[in-house]
Chains A and B, each alone.
Chain A
């Protein structure tokens, strides 16, 4: 049966901290983001780049969607970051503070150039764009559709609220519009939407409320700032029995349609399109990740 790569939780780990990098592989996050940007002081950029490169290229943790976050598009580090990050061959490269589609096109072209030069399969590395300003948000749909490599947009609330001159609160009303706008762009572009972090690591109840909103709005996942947040966030992405049953029926109908070489497949009178099929796959992967025996649900 088809399973999707989950993106419920993304954990950032600093390329400047070997001990945290090693430990990060053992938490339950779906996506592990090795960071070269904000968490690495300027004096450590070269050393961190080499540590991340050696880790991802030669000692990649099993069972994780591995991401490298490079430095800013206009920073002095971006060229070398890309040389290293592409050759390390992660699942994705995460680009901070994206505002225009041209930026994405340019970075993606560079990735292609390096893949070609290094004799790697071209086009395999995916791209996540961090949306961290009002400009990025306005252009979100264009960014999401700028290149086939782009598979996800992630909201960065701290920088976004700064660009808006708004004040960050626990309840998050100031980013409510941004969350909806980003989601709308992602859904229309057919890419995944990743919600902003909840930054108070000691406030478990606050995290739960915030994550309930993340899930109810429709996000596919959330970025985590601390390992202790991971299990809590993951638990909000556990599908109900009803959702699992429906997903199984969708995929069965698709299977059946393929066998009978049907072009269009319907279930309960409505047509199953590609996004529906993908969504069903994600639901089952979420169920399995939560320890639910999906095959048993069929009975």
Chain B
């Protein structure tokens, strides 16, 4: 069958029944009751939740072959919890697990691929599997089921419908007390918001908090409450603090990226929605960070204040807040050390549940009130469909993140990307992997021109506002022509019939699949 973005899909992939993406929905009628496997318990009656080591905790949870385990990815590349937990599980001889972190971070020695090869893990679900694991998967790594990739907003939904039912959630925290109250905001290895873990804590059957910083009761602040936590383990080290976030991210000096960032900010400032109380999400890529700075300049010049910034926070968004240019930061993730530590000291910087951020099946999510969302992408095609996963050789370059959610939720979603990267065109005829439907993308900003999507819901105001501000636009076909005139037309990537990844959209339908790459 063919879904609404023209992708060829089978009806079933193993036991997975494919619900094809059917196009944008005005309202979502959720019919399920929220599933949680949480049980009332008398842990405190046992005296303590604090167990001597990871193995003791794993045994106490009753983890067995074939079960599902989860993690958050807030420690990013500095994470040392996943490797310690998986090693302990392997030593206990437990096999065939379903590994369901919010995203897979690229850990090495041993890598996730090693745990797949030795049989500890045989299924994977996450928002992204960038790095060694991703490359191995698209090259046909042996798994019991294809990897399911979900954007941030879809994961809480999958957990709450029971599609992703978690037996044991392992939650790393930079500070915790013996009853399991914990946070990522303080301590040597602070990572900031634990927003991805809230749904795991609420819905998993067993919750294990892991820290290297056991503090006196009660831990302050409390991000995840003791009432959800079964066990607490203190380990030597939960992460490499240098890699978790070594201060503010470096600001780009690349004139091309600065030009794209400036133009994206100009498009926002030209909009009629850019007025006192506007809201935005910019993100953490080089272009996004620069865009935040230009947006701050515009905001200051206009003498207005944004009501809120959403999603992943960076040092320069915190700076905007301190200057009074944005009233509140709703923080589901902290991208650097400045942002990670800013929550404690600033009452208007709020740690929020990832589900509140992006889950469209909630009673409401913050994204759906957003005015401007700035997104990065690897490729965009003439239908404005976006690929944020796979590179020009089919390799796994990145994760879905919240991109598909932001594009859909924001009034004006702006994709920023260079027209070519080396000889790789970024504007193409048809993206290799469709992650975000073109109908949700309002504007594309490249150094070679700005294109508006005539099929976007906001097109009526989009075609007027930039024009009034003297911003010139071109068609997406013009951008395609420019890209191909530089690079030539690339040879299509050849694949086998084997499906390695299923790409879900924020509504839980299948927007695309990734087939195994054919290599010489």
Chain A residues near B (Cβ < 8 Å): 22-23, 26-27, 59, 226-228, 231, 290-292
Contacts and interface: CB of A to CB of B under 8 A. Distances in A.
B255 A27 contact: yes
Contacts of A27: 255, 259, 447
Nearest to A292: B470
B274 to A, nearest CB: 18
Of the listed residues A26, A27, A291, the one surrounded by the most CB atoms of chain B closer than 10 A to its CB is: A26
A59 B448 CA distance: 15
Nearest to B253: A228
B473 to A, nearest CB: 11
A22 B483 CA distance: 11
24 contacts: A22-B420, A23-B255, A23-B256, A23-B447, A26-B256, A26-B259, A26-B447, A26-B448, A27-B255, A27-B259, A27-B447, A59-B486, A226-B255, A227-B255, A227-B259, A228-B255, A228-B258, A231-B262, A290-B470, A291-B469, A291-B470, A291-B471, A291-B472, A292-B470
Contacts of A22: 420, 486
Interface of B: 255-256, 258-259, 262, 419-420, 447-448, 469-472, 485-486
Nearest to A25: B448
Contacts, number: 28
Contact of B419 (A26, A228, A291): A26
A120 B366 CA distance: 64
A292 B469 CA distance: 9
A292 B256 CA distance: 25
A25 to B, nearest CB: 8
Nearest to A202: B253
Contacts of A227: 255-256, 259
Of the listed residues B255, B447, B469, the one surrounded by the most CB atoms of chain A closer than 10 A to its CB is: B255
Given A27-B255, A27-B259, 9 more contacts: A23-B255, A26-B448, A27-B447, A59-B485, A59-B486, A226-B255, A227-B256, A291-B469, A291-B471
Contacts of B470: 290-292
A188 to B, nearest CB: 36
B287 to A, nearest CB: 14
A39 to B, nearest CB: 16
Contacts of B419: 26
Contacts of B255: 23, 27, 226-228
A261 B259 CA distance: 49
Of the listed residues B256, B420, B486, the one surrounded by the most CB atoms of chain A closer than 10 A to its CB is: B256
Nearest to B449: A26
B487 to A, nearest CB: 10
B119 to A, nearest CB: 46
Nearest to A229: B255
A62 to B, nearest CB: 9
Contacts of A59: 485-486
Nearest to A62: B482
A227 B254 CA distance: 10
Contacts of B469: 291
Contacts of B448: 26
A179 B258 CA distance: 32
A231 B262 CA distance: 11
Nearest to A226: B255
A23 B420 CA distance: 9
Contacts of A26: 256, 259, 419, 447-448
A283 B368 CA distance: 46
Nearest to B485: A59
Of the listed residues A59, A227, A292, the one surrounded by the most CB atoms of chain B closer than 10 A to its CB is: A227
Nearest to A19: B422
Contacts of B256: 23, 26, 227
B252 to A, nearest CB: 11
B358 to A, nearest CB: 33
Contacts of A231: 262
Contacts of B471: 291
Nearest to A23: B256
B213 to A, nearest CB: 41
Contacts of B262: 231
Contacts of B485: 59
B475 to A, nearest CB: 15
The 10 tightest CB contacts between A and B, nearest first, are: A291-B470, A227-B255, A26-B447, A26-B448, A23-B256, A228-B255, A228-B258, A27-B259, A291-B472, A290-B470
B483 to A, nearest CB: 11
Contacts of A292: 470
A128 B469 CA distance: 35
Contacts of B258: 228
A6 B471 CA distance: 19
A207 to B, nearest CB: 14
Nearest to B419: A26
Contacts of B259: 26-27, 227
A61 to B, nearest CB: 10
Nearest to B262: A231
A133 B472 CA distance: 41
Nearest to B447: A26
Of the listed residues A23, A228, A231, the one surrounded by the most CB atoms of chain B closer than 10 A to its CB is: A23
